[in-house]
């Protein structure tokens, strides 16, 4: 669940920062650290931010938290410009 939630904003961030003429972006790598649990039925929140954004590669880190603010997962992914 954490990877699915974190993959979308990382991919969208990479796509929104493509240089002119780029065909798109693709995920090079993705690492998920599961740090806790969210109770069934509880809403989880995701926040994604770039670490660096380069011409050919960007790295994004997503933090998934429970309603109580506890970190449930930390996901880092690298995106490559096509």
Report the candidate in 4, 2, 9, 1 with the shortest Cα–Cα distance to residue 49.
9
Q: Is the pLDDT of residue 4 over 90?
A: no
Report the candidate in 60, 51, 56 with the shortest Cα–Cα distance to residue 8.
60
Strand partners, 53: 58
Mean pLDDT within 63-73: 92
pLDDT at position 69: 92
Mean pLDDT within 32-61: 92
How many Cα atoms sit within 13 Å of 79 on the Cβ side? 30
| pLDDT range class, residue 1, cuts 50, 70, 90 | low
| pLDDT range class, residue 2, cuts 50, 70, 90 | low
Measured CA to CA, the distance from residue 59 to residue 3 in angstroms comes to 15
Decide if domain 2-81 falls under CATH 3.90.79.10.
no
Q: Is the pLDDT of residue 43 over 80?
A: yes
Token reading at 64 = 């998934």
């Amino acid at each position: 669940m954490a990877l699915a939630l974190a993959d979308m904003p990382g991919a969208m961030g990479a796509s929104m920062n493509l240089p002119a003429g780029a065909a798109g972006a693709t995920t090079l790598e993705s690492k998920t650290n599961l740090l806790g649990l969210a109770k069934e039925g509880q809403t989880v929140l995701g926040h994604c931010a770039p670490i660096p954004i380069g011409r050919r590669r960007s790295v994004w880190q997503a933090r998934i938290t429970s309603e109580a603010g506890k970190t449930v997962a930390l996901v880092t992914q690298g995106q490559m410009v096509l």
